[in-house]
Amino acid sequence: MPLATIKVIEGVFSNDEKQRMIEKVAEAIVSVEGENLREKTLVIIEEVKSGDWGIGGKTLTAEAVKRLRAGK
C-alpha cells in the first residue's frame, strides 16, 4: 500500500489547496503503481507549526511562505 506524507507549514494552504495536493499526489502514485492500488493509496498532510520549520539554519514562518507564494 503506497503512502505519501506531505509536510506543510500550518496556515499557508487552504483546505481546498490541501485537497488538490492529496488528489494530485494520489494520481501520480496510481499512474506508476496501477489503478488497482487507488483504494489502498494513502496521502497524509501534516501541518508543522509556523516557526518550527527551518531552512539553511533560518526559521521559516507561514508569513514568509505566503510572501514567497506571492512572488515577493
The pLDDT of residue 23: 97
Does residue 43 contact residue 4 with C-beta atoms inside 8 Å?
yes
Domain 3-69 = CATH 1.25.40.20: no
pLDDT in tens, 22-68: 999 999 999 999 999 999 999 999 999 999 999 999 999 999 999 98
What is the reported pTM?
0.85
CA distance 37 to 67: 38
Domain boundaries, the chain: 3-69
Q: Which grid cell is 51? A: 516557526
The pLDDT of residue 1: 85
Give the amino acid at 27: E
- Give me the mean pLDDT over the 13-24 stretch: 97
CA distance 25 to 29: 6
